[in-house]
Every structure is written in C-alpha cells, then in structure tokens.
Amino acid sequence: MEATNSTFGKFSAGGVDVSIDEVAQIAKKAGDAIMKVYTETPLDNWASIAKSKGDGSPLTIADKAANDIICKELAAKYPFPIMSEENAMTSFAERSAWKYYWCVDPLDGTKEFIKRNGQFTVNIGLVEGSTPIAGVVYVPATAVMYKGVKGLGPPVRETDDPLGYDSYKSIFCARFEETDPNLKIVASASHNTPETEQFIAKYTTPSLQSYGSSLKLLMVAEGRAHVYPRLAPTMEWDTCAAHAIVECAGGEVLQFPGTYDGHPGDLDEGKPLRYNKKDVHNPFFVVYGKREAKTTRPKKDVDLTGGGTTKIATKIIVVIVAGAAAFFAFCNAV
C-alpha cells in the first residue's frame, strides 16, 4: 500500500495534484489507531470506550483518534475543506461555495466496532460540487483497502500482506436483470426496516445477507451482491467514499422515495445521491450493480460468398478445395 512508487490513482482536482494512494495511506494510519483501541482495550474495560453523542449515536475514543489523524494529514497534503462526522458542521452558506472537499467518516460502523464483529471501515471521499469523484475505504479488521477514481478505470481491492506481497486486483459490479431469480441482496445488520423488507419482497427467491458499515456498498462494487437497499437513515459521510467506488465499478447509487425523522433528504427520485446539501442526511437509496436487459439474438449462418443461406462449413470447404486446385495447376504449369 506504499504510495511512493505507485502510478495508480493520480489525478488533478481543481489544479491540485492528488494521489489516491497517499489518501489510502492516511486511511490505513487511521485504521491502525482504531485497531490499537480494538485489540489493546481489556474486555472488562470495553464499555468505557464509548459515550453517546447529542443525537444518541455512539462515539468512541477510536473515532476521535482516527479523525485527528485524517484531518491533520489531509490538511497538510491538500488544500481542500474537510467535512467529517466528528467535526463541527460548517454553515451551508460557507459550504455552498466549496468546489472540492473531503467527506470523511473516520469510523463507519461504530455500533459494529462496539459489538467487536470487525464490520467497520474508514471512509475518505473527495467530492466535486455535489458529486463524489474518488474514494478510499479501509477495513482495519482485515487490512483490506478499496480505492477508486472516476475516469481512471475500475477500482481496486488491495490486501496488505504482512510479508509485503500485497494482493491487488480490479473489481467490477455483477451484471444482472432485476427479474433474475436468486439475486444476492445485502442489507444493514443494525437498521432493518419494514420498507426494506417490502423492497426485497419484489425479487424472486433472493439470497439475503446482512453486514454493517459501508461494507454493503463494497459488496455490490466487487460483485458479491447485486442490490443493496438502504431504506433507513444515513448521512453523507456514511456513503460518499464507497459511492465513488461503486460507480467506478459500473454500479449505481440512486435515490429512493421515503422519509425518516423529519428528514426527507431533498429527494430527486432515481437520480444519484447528491452531497454537500443544506441537510446532510441522505434520502433513502438503493445501490445496484450492472443492471441490464437481456436480449436474445437469433443465430445466423455466415455466408462468405454472398450466396444466401449456404452454411459456413460448406463455404470453407469450397474455398479450401478451390485454393488447392489452383495451387496444383500452378505447380504443373511450372
């Protein structure tokens, strides 16, 4: 995961040179700080790592440590504003003038972190206007990094091998038609809703899986799931980085009708999620892999001579025989 000699993911944003591998290194450093808390806190002290924020959601010392690392290092390398779950929210009057900014969730899946199930991530996305253009998602518990930049080909999944032999591969969304049976649907492990169950019911014998954090979007991005309906509350920093990766892999993250807690989320049904809104709650949304309509084309015989319906095998034989006869005639003449 070293960025020094990497040529992947280097691009310009508003005249600023950005290396997505440098951003990935920052995410990994934050992930290391998270894992230090995760592995070194005695179990009898585990309950002391978290407290509730004003909205009732949990905040851990790992969230704070990761946020400090990310914000400090991004600010030192790149002159873009930072929107982070753990920072005070900048006024919309000021944010509305941002051309580019970082959208950060230093520990996505805090509930999963507290449960100690490994299903938590570090999310760093870069937004142009209201559209995510690059993203890094690191999974600290498994040392797996996802990163993608729009316009630079498919995203990649990289495993940090302690021996130094990183496993690095491109990832792609799975192709499917929505009427296909046995589609793989992934849903939230902590936020299942009646709306979600109703959405899933329209598919024929779907295979259901539950995961936490932005891992659900990544499952669609790498083809391990076809659809992820999120018909429950989320914030922009929960989705931004993984949203960019899904789109790089050929998928979609589309707004879906629904409301919650008085936050309809500035809905524009069927359009991609937008960012840096006045209200930074997301509307409901659905993540799709590569949806396509299947077409069946009739097989046709290939006519090499323009003679109609003669089969290709006959034509090939005719050409070979004619060629051989001409060759022997030439030899006899000589």
Digit-coded pLDDT (tens) for 105-138: 999 998 898 889 999 999 999 999 999 999 999 9
Q: Establish if 148 belongs to a structural domain.
A: yes
Regarding whether 49 and 26 lie in a shared domain, the answer is yes
Question: Cα–Cα distance between 153 and 252 in angstroms, integer?
Answer: 16
Cβ 171 vs Cβ 223: under 8 Å? yes
Regarding whether 191 and 244 lie in a shared domain, the answer is yes
Tell whether residue 108 is among the known ligand binding residues: yes
Task: Please report which confidence band the pLDDT of residue 200 belongs to, taking 50, 70 and 90 as the band edges.
Answer: very high
pTM of the full predicted structure? 0.83
pLDDT computed for residue 318 by the predictor = 43
The CATH number covering residue 101 comes to: 3.30.540.10
Question: Cα–Cα distance between 239 and 313 in angstroms, integer?
Answer: 55
pLDDT computed for residue 164 by the predictor = 55
Please identify, among 153, 170, 187, the residue that sits at the C-terminal boundary of a domain. Answer: 170
- Contacts of residue 312, Cβ cutoff 8 Å, sequence gap at least 6: 301, 302, 303, 304
Regarding whether 166 and 179 lie in a shared domain, the answer is no
Instruction: Please give the C-alpha separations between residue 180 and each of 173, 292, 294, in angstroms, as whole numbers.
Output: 16, 11, 10
pLDDT computed for residue 167 by the predictor = 79
Regarding whether 53 and 135 lie in a shared domain, the answer is yes
- Contacts of residue 24, Cβ cutoff 8 Å, sequence gap at least 6: 1, 3, 136, 138, 145, 147, 158
CA 295 to chain centre: 28
pLDDT computed for residue 304 by the predictor = 33
Q: Establish if 321 belongs to a structural domain.
A: no
Q: HSE-up of 29 (CA within 13 Å, CB side)?
A: 15
Tell whether residue 105 is among the known ligand binding residues: yes
Please identify, among 131, 155, 170, the residue that sits at the C-terminal boundary of a domain. Answer: 170
Tell whether residue 86 is among the known ligand binding residues: no
Question: Cα–Cα distance between 233 and 130 in angstroms, integer?
Answer: 19
pLDDT computed for residue 123 by the predictor = 98
Regarding whether 141 and 180 lie in a shared domain, the answer is no
Regarding whether 183 and 162 lie in a shared domain, the answer is no
For the chain, the average pLDDT equals 85
Task: Please report which confidence band the pLDDT of residue 168 belongs to, taking 50, 70 and 90 as the band edges.
Answer: confident
Query: Is 305's pLDDT higher than 50?
Result: no
User: For residue 174, what are its two tokens?
Assistant: 């799975």
Regarding whether 163 and 29 lie in a shared domain, the answer is yes
Instruction: Please give the C-alpha separations between residue 288 and each of 16, 45, 90, 151, in angstroms, as whole numbers.
Output: 32, 41, 32, 19
pLDDT computed for residue 258 by the predictor = 78
Regarding whether 194 and 146 lie in a shared domain, the answer is no
Regarding whether 216 and 143 lie in a shared domain, the answer is no
pLDDT computed for residue 229 by the predictor = 96
Cβ count within 10 A of residue 114: 16
The CATH number covering residue 216 comes to: 3.40.190.80
Query: Is 303's pLDDT higher than 70?
Result: no
Least confident among 126-135, 218-227, 253-262: 253-262
Regarding whether 123 and 199 lie in a shared domain, the answer is no
Q: Establish if 248 belongs to a structural domain.
A: yes
Regarding whether 180 and 158 lie in a shared domain, the answer is no
- High-pLDDT (> 90) share of the chain, %: 64
User: How many domains does one find in the chain?
Assistant: 2
Regarding whether 99 and 206 lie in a shared domain, the answer is no
Tell whether residue 217 is among the known ligand binding residues: no
Q: Which domain holds residue 77?
A: 10-170
Query: Is 266's pLDDT higher than 80?
Result: no
